[in-house]
Amino acid sequence: MKNHQISLSLLCCLSCILFLSGCGIFSLHPLYNPQDLLMKSEIIGSWQDRSDENIHITIAYLDEKFYRFTMIEKGDTMHFKMGLMKLDGQYFIDLYPNDECGVFGNDSSCEWFENMFKNYIPVHTFMKLEFAGEEIALTGFDNERLIKLFHENKIRLAHEIPNREDEDGYVVITASTDDLQKFISRYANDAEAFDETTTYHRL
């Protein structure tokens, strides 16, 4: 059995291949406290990216508090455990890698993924969610802007920058959930803090 050593930075790159919000800011702690979690039947289903028919997501119930969020791009699949909550009048989702097989849609993925989980630190990432009728919309943060603010020490939130000399690198937030919520609430209604919205229609 091969032992694949995968660092956080490599995981970031792998996740970005399939990710909606791009590589950038990650958190060691979740955005939610247990009492914050919400369940909304309106978001359950299969959804297709309006601008790219090769990208699909499915949202299903995982248990009484969480969802299973699956993203499929050109046959490649990645699973996440998803928490839904509301901050400052806006819905946000917290995505966390779910240790399921079939990550990259091939027979060897189970063994590969089991080894990967032994050699990296899983992290949370989050984005804004809007839903109405037969559409949902996901909006990630403007990572370039926020990373710049972190590099310039203009955001006072506990974090680490693994490669501080790399301006295109990523930030790992180490702050507590409560501090993280205060940070997100501060920017929840600031349009400049967010990237472009991706809209999905129900299949």
For the chain, give the percent of residues with pLDDT over 70. 74
Instruction: Please return the burial class of 51, using the count of CB atoms within 10 Å of its CB with bins 0-12, 13-18 and 19+.
Output: exposed
For the chain, give the percent of residues with pLDDT over 90. 45
Whether 102 has a pLDDT exceeding 80, the answer reads no
pLDDT band at 154 (very low <50, low <70, confident <90, very high): confident
pLDDT digits (tens, 9 = 90+) for 30-40: 999 999 999 99
| Mean of the per-residue pLDDT values of the chain | 80
Please state the domain extents for the chain.
8-202
The predicted pLDDT at position 3 comes to 38
The predicted pLDDT at position 73 comes to 83
